[in-house]
Structure 1
Amino acid sequence: MKVIVTDEVSESGLQLLEDDPRVSVDVRLNLSADQLREVIGEYDAIITRSGTRVDVPLLEAAGRLKIIARAGVGIDNVDVEAASQRGIIVVNAPFGNTNSAAEHTMAILLTLCRNVTRANASLKSGEWQRAPFTGYELKGKTLGVIGLGKVGGRVALRARAFEMDVVVYDPYISEKRAEDFGTRLVELDDLLRLSDVITVHTPLNDETRGMIGPEQFARMKQGVIIINCARGGVYDEAATLEALESGRVAGAAFDVWSEEPPKGELLKQLISHPKMVVTPHLGANTFEAQKNVAIDVCREILNYLDGKPLENAVNIPRFDPDLMEHMKPYMALVETIGDFISQLAPANPNKVIFTYSGKLARYDCSPLTVCGLAALLDRHTDQEVNLVNASLVAREMGIEVEAVRTTEAESYSSMVTLTLETPTGTRVIAGTLFEGRPKIVKMRNFDVDFCPEEHMLVLSYQDRPGLIGKIGTILGDAGVNIGNMTLGRREKGGKALVVFSIDSPADEATLERIVQEVQPDYLRAVHLRR
C-alpha cells in the first residue's frame, strides 16, 4: 500500500506505517492542488490535516485511492459524499485531540476574563498598570455548553471544577447523560437567556452553520462572553461583530474562523476588535494531540490492511464502541451468508430482507445490514462494493433493502436470516454462531447444519439410494477430498439438499460428470473469501 502524507503529521504516528513492510509512505508537503492531482493516482491512501482539500477534482484523479485519513476531528475539507460514491473510506481521529481542545477552551476563556493578553502587552511595553485590567471570576457564573460531545463534556467537567453552574443544549443526548456531567439539559432559548458564558462544541454542517445569529444574540444576557474553539461559521461572524460593537457581548475568544487563514475584511475587523482574544486554530495544537491523532489514523490504515473493523470511519455505519467486540463475530456471520447466497441465487434480486432474531435484535443492527449487503453485491457489479457504498450501489441497482428485528427466537438465541426476492422466486439462508464461528442452519426450506468452508458444493436432487456414494466416488476420482457433508430433506424420497465441504475446488470436468451421473436439478460450486 502506498500512502501520501500532504500535511504536517507527527512522526510518532507515521512510524507505525513505516515499520510495516506492506506500507510505503511518501511525505510530500506544500503541494499545490494541481501538483497533488498529478500524483494522487499513484496512492492507495492519503493522510491530511486541514491544509489539503480532498474534493471532487482530486478524487476523480485518485484511481487507486481506498482510504482518506484526516488526522484530526473536523472533515470540512473532505467531500465525504463524493468519496462514498467511489467506495473510498474516510476516517478521522475524533478522540486524539479532545483534551487539547477542552484545555484550550478554558485557556482562552481565562485569558479573556483576566485580560492576560492586554496586560502582557502593557507590561512588555514598559507600563505598570493594574486597574485597567481588572477581570472577572468564573465561580458562580453560568456556563452554557452547546454540544455535549467529547470536547463539550470535558469543558463542562472543567467548568464544574471552577464552581460554575453548567447548562447544556444538545438535541442528541438524554437528560441522564447531562446529569452524569453535573449539568442541566435545557432548550437553546433557555441556555441563551441563562448563560453568562457561552461556548460551542459542535461540528460544522447544514444544521449548525450560522446557528448563533442576530436572533440568538438578541436573546442573550447583556454583557455575555462567547467562546468558539469548535468550528468557524457556527457563530454568524457579522452578527458577532455587531454584538461586540453594541455591547451585548462583553468579550469573545475565538480560535476558529469561517475562512482560514482569514482574508476577508469582516474577519479582519473581528480579529482586530479590542474585545476579542484570538488564536490561529490552536485547539488541537499540542505535541500530545498531534501524536495521538497521527497514531489513531495510522492505526486505522493498518486495520484496513488487516481487514479489521474501522472504529473511526465517518462514512461507514458502526456500532457503539462498547459493542464492537461483541458484534465482530456477527459481522463475520452476515458477510459469510451474504457471500454464500450471492453464488447460489440470481444476480439481481428485487428485494433483500435482513431479519435479526433473538438477543441480537436488542441492538442496532444497521452495520450488520450494510456488511451483509456489501458481501452480497460485490460479486455482481463492475465496481468494488464495500461498507462505504453498499447502500448506494443497491439503490442504483433498484434493489430494495429492508431490515427487521424481532426478539422472538426459534431454536437459537440469536439468528440472522437473509431473504432474497427474485423474479424466479424467493431464496432464504439463515445462520447463527457456534463457538464464535458462523454456522448456516437453513437454506431454502431445508434445515441444515454446517460451518462454511472455503470450498463447497451445493446440490439439490430427487432423493434416491446411492447418490451420495456416487458423488463421493466422482470427487474421489478427481482427487477432491470431502471434509464434511450435511443433508437436508423434507421427506423420504422427496427433494434433498446436500452441501459438501471440500478441501480443494472441483474443476468443470468433475462438475459435469456429477451432472451426468446424478442428474441434480441444481448444482453450484461455492468459493468463500478468506
Structure 2
Amino acid sequence: MKIIVTDEVAQEGLAILQRDPRVQMDIKLGLKKEELYSIIGDYDVIITRSGTTVDKPLLDHATNLKLVARAGVGVDNVDVDYASAKGVIVVNAPFGNTNSAAEHAMALLLSFCRNVTKANGSLKGGAWKRAPFTGFELKGRTAGVIGLGKVGGRVATRLKAFECEVLACDPYIAEKRAHDLGVKLVTLDEIIKNCDIITVHTPLTSETQNMIGKKELAGMKDGVIIINAARGGIINEEAMLEALDSGRVAGAAFDVWSQEPPDSEILKKLIAHEKMVVTPHLGANTFEAQVNVAVDVAKEILRYMDEQPIENAINIPKFDASLMGQMRPYLNLVNVLADFIIQLADTNLNKITFTYTGGLAQYDCTPITVCGLASLLNRRVEQEVNMVNAQLVADNMGIVIEEVKSTQSEDFSNLITVSIEGPGEKRLISGTVFEGVPRIVKLRDYQMDFRPEEHMLLLAYGDRPGIIGKIGTILGKHEINIAAMNLGRREKKGEAMVILSLDSAVPAGVVDEVREATDATFVKPLYLITAK
C-alpha cells in the first residue's frame, strides 16, 4: 500500500502506519499542483488536511487511488461526488477535534465579550486604559446554538455552565438529545428573533450555504453577538459586514472564511472591522486534536487494508458503530453469497433483490446490500466496483436494486437471500451465519447446508443410481480430491443437485467429461475468492 502525505499530520498517527510492513509512505509537503499531478498516480492513499485540494483534475491523475484520508472534520477541499464516481473512498476524522473546536468557539465569544484582543493591543502599546474595554457578561443571556452535533452539543453545555439560557436548532437530531443536554429545541426563526448570542456549528452543505444572510440578520435582536467557528460561507460575509456597519450586530467572532486564505475586498474589510475578533481557522489547532485526527485516519486506513468495515467514510453507507461487531459476519456472508450466485448467471442482469429475514431485518441493512452489490458487479464490469460506487454502476447499467425485510423467519434466526433476474433466467441463494462462519442453506428451491469453499463444483442432473460414483471416479482419475459433498433433491428419481467442495480447481476438459458421463443439465465449476 503506497501512501502519500501532502499536509502536516501528527507523527503519532503516521507512526501507526509506518509500523505496518505493508505500508510504503512518502511525506511530500508543499507540492505545487503540477508536481502532485505527476506523481499521484503511483499512490493508493493520500492523507491530507485542508492544504491540498482533492478535486477532479487531481482525481483524474490519481489512477490507482483507493482512499482519500482527510485528517480533520471538514471535506470542503475534497470533491466527494467525483471521488464516489471514481470509486475512491473518502474518510475523515469527525470526532478527533470536537473538543478543540468547541473550546475555540467559547474562546472567541469570551474574547469578544471581554475585549481581550483590543485590551491586549492597547496595553502592549504602552497605554493603561480600562473604561474603553468594559465588556459583557454571559450570565443571564439567551444563546442560540445552530447545529447540536458533537461540537454544538459541547458548546451548549459550556454556555449553560456560564448560566446562559440555551436554545438550539437542529432538524436532524432527536428531541431526547436536546433534553439530555438541558437545552430547548426550537426553529431557526425562533433563534434569530430571541437570542442575544448566536453560534453556528453545522457542516457547509447546499442547505447551510448562506443560511444566515441579509434577511436573517435583519430579523435579529439589536446588539446580537454572532460566532462562526464552523465553516466559512454558512454566514453570508457581505451581509455580515453591512450588519456590523449598521450597528444591528454588536460584534462577531469568526475563525473560518469562504476563502482561505481570504483575498476578496469584502473579506479584507470584514477581518479589519473593529467589531470583529478573528482567527485563521484555528478551531482544530490544538496539539491534542492534531494527534487525535491523525490517529483516527491512520486506523481507518488499517481497517481498509484489513478489509474491515470503515467507521468514518463520507461516501459509504455505514452501520451504527455499536452494531459493527454484530454485523461484520453478515458483510462476509453477503460477499460469499454474491460471489457464488453471480457465477451461475449467464444472462444480463435486470434486477437484484436482497432479502433480510429474522432479527437482522430490524436494523439498517443498507451497508450489507451495497457490499453484496459491489461483489456481484465486480464479476461483471471492468472497472473496480466497491461500496462507494456500486449503486452508481448499477444505475448506469440499468439494474434495479430492491431490498426486502421481514422479521418473521421459521427456520433461521437470521437469513440473507440474494436473487438475480435476467432475460428468461432467475437465480436464488440463501445463507446464514453459524458460529461466525457463512453457511449456504438454499440454492434455487433446493434445501442445502454447506460451508462455501474456494473451489467447488455444482451439478444438476436426473437422480438415478451410480451418478455420484461416476463423478468421484472422474475427479479421482484427474487427482482432484473431494473434501465434502452436499446433495439436494425434490423427490425420488427427480432432478437432483449436488455441490462438491474440492481441494483444487476443475479444468474445463474435466467439466466436459463429468457432464457427458452424468447427462447433467447444468455443470458449473466455482471459484470463490471470498471463501479463501
| TMscore range, shorter length | over 0.9
Shift in Å at residue 245 of structure 1? 1.2
Whether the 8 Å contact between 1:347 and 1:380 is mirrored in structure 2 is: no
Measured after TM superposition, the shift of residue 410 of structure 1 is: 2.6
1:442-521 mapped onto 2 (5 Å cutoff): 442-521=442-521
Amino acid at match of 1:12: E
Which residue number corresponds to residue 185 of structure 1? 185
| Mapped pair 1:205 → 2:205 | yes
C-alpha separation between the residues in 1 aligned to 2:160 and 2:434?
49
> How many percent of aligned residue pairs carry the same amino acid?
61
User: CA–CA distance in 2 between the matches of 1:475 and 1:119?
Assistant: 90
CA displacement, residues 419-446 of structure 1 (integer Å, 9 cap, x when unaligned): 1111122111111111121111111111
Whole-Å separation in 2 of the counterparts to 1:221 and 1:101: 26
CA contact (8 A) 1:352 1:421 kept: yes
After superposition, the CA RMSD in angstroms is 1.1
1-structure distance, mates of 2:399, 2:13:
42
In structure 1, the partner of 2:64 is 64
- Structure 1 residues 255-294: Cα deviation after superposition (integer angstroms, max 9, x where no partner): 0000000000000010011110000000000111111111
Amino acid at match of 1:285: N
Q: Which amino acid aligns with 2:86?
A: R
- Aligned counterpart, 2:273: 273
Q: What secondary structure, in the 3-state scheme, does the structure 1 residue paired with 2:379 have?
A: helix
SS at match of 2:472: helix
Give the corresponding residue for 1:45: 45
Residue 36 of structure 1: aligned partner = 36
Does 2:24 align with 1:19?
Answer: no
Letter of the 1:187 counterpart: T
- Given the superposition, is the C-alpha separation of residues 78 and 347 from structure 1 closer, same or farther in structure 2, using an over 3 Å criterion? farther
| Alpha-carbon contact 1:42-1:64 (below 8 Å) kept | yes
* Higher mean C-alpha displacement, 128-137 vs 268-277: 128-137
SS for the counterpart of 1:356 is: strand
| Partner AA of 1:224 in structure 2 | V
d(CA) in 1 for partners of 2:249 and 2:31?
41
- Residue of structure 1 in register with 2:293 after alignment: 293
Counterpart residue number, 1:418: 418
Whether the 8 Å contact between 2:213 and 2:236 is mirrored in structure 1 is yes
Q: What is the letter of the counterpart of residue 173 of structure 1?
A: I
Partners of 1:347 and 1:305 in 2: CA distance? 33
Identify the residue that residue 403 of structure 1 maps to in structure 2: 403
Tell me how far apart the structure 1 counterparts of residues 157 and 453 of structure 2 sit (CA, whole Å): 52
Report the counterpart of residue 168 of structure 1 in structure 2: 168
- d(CA) in 2 for partners of 1:372 and 1:386? 9
Q: CA deviation at 1:59?
A: 1.0
Aligned twin of 1:86: 86
In the TM superposition, what are the counterparts of 1:80-159 in structure 2 within 5 Å? Answer: 80-159=80-159
Aligned to 2:320: 320
Aligned partner of residue 343 in structure 1, secondary structure: helix
Question: CA deviation digits over 1:304-360, x for unaligned, max 9?
Answer: 111111111111111111111111111111111011101111352100111111111
Contact 2:485 2:500 (C-alpha < 8 Å) held by counterparts = yes
Per-residue CA deviation, residues 136-190 of structure 1 (Å, 9 max, x unaligned), is 1112212211111111111111212222221111111111111111111111101
2: CA distance, partners of 1:99 / 1:317: 26
Counterpart of 1:225? Answer: 225
Letter in 1 for 2:375: A
Which letter does structure 1 place at the counterpart of 2:373?
Answer: L
CA 54–347 in structure 1, closer or farther in 2 if over 3 Å, else same:
farther
| Structure 1 letter corresponding to 2:138 | L
Distance across 2 between alignment mates of 1:502 and 1:154: 58
In structure 1, C-alpha distance between the alignment counterparts of 2:194 and 2:347, rounded to whole Å: 60
* Partner Cα distance (2:210, 2:218) in 1: 14
CA distances 1:435-494 after superposition (whole Å, capped 9, x unpaired): 121111111111111121111111111111111122122222222222221111111111
Rounded to whole Å, the distance in 1 between the matches of 2:391 and 2:229 is 35
- Contact 1:4/1:27, CA 8 A, preserved across alignment: yes
Q: What one-letter code is carried by the residue in structure 2 that aligns with 1:319?
A: F
**Distance in 1 of aligned mates of 2:375 and 2:153:** 38
* CA distance in structure 2 between the aligned counterparts of 1:411 and 1:473, rounded to whole angstroms: 36
Indicate the larger mover: 447-456 or 365-374: 447-456
Query: Matched residues in 1 for 2:463 and 2:469: separation?
Result: 12
The answer to whether the Cα contact below 8 Å between 2:347 and 2:425 also exists between their aligned partners in 1 is no
Length-normalised TM-score, structure 2: 0.98
**One-letter amino acid matched to 1:264:** S
| TM-score between the two structures when normalised by the length of structure 1 | 0.98
- 8 Å CA contact retained: 2:347, 2:423: no
**In structure 2, distance between residues paired with 1:503 and 1:156:** 62
> Shift of residue 507 of structure 1?
2.0
CA distance in 2, matches of 1:134, 1:97: 33
* Equivalent AA in structure 2 for residue 181 of structure 1: L
- Structure-1 separation of matches of 2:167 and 2:485: 64
Question: CA–CA distance in 2 between the matches of 1:95 and 1:40?
Answer: 28
Cα distance in 1 for partners of 2:202, 2:13 equals: 26
State the match for 1:354 in structure 2: 354
Which amino acid in structure 2 is aligned with residue 352 of structure 1? I
Is 1:392 the counterpart of 2:407? The answer is no
Q: How far does residue 106 in structure 1 lie from its aligned partner after superposition? A: 0.8
Q: Counterpart of 2:441? A: 441
Give 1:131's aligned amino acid.
A
Distance in 1 (alpha carbons) for counterparts of 2:372 and 2:347: 15
Instruction: For residue 74 of structure 1, report the CA deviation from its aligned partner.
Output: 0.6
1:256 aligns with 2:256: yes
Contact 2:68 2:90 in 1 (8 A): yes
| Alignment map for 1:227-242 (pairs within 5 Å) | 227-242=227-242
Q: Which residue of 2 aligns with 1:371?
A: 371
- SS of residue matched to 1:499: strand
Task: Supply the AA of the counterpart residue of 2:219.
Answer: R
Which segment is superposed worse, 388-397 or 476-485?
476-485
The number of equivalent residue pairs is 530
2:526 counterpart residue number: 526
Q: The residue matched to 1:380 in structure 2 has which SS?
A: coil
- 1:281 alignment partner, SS class: coil
Three-state SS of the structure 1 residue aligned to 2:500 is: strand
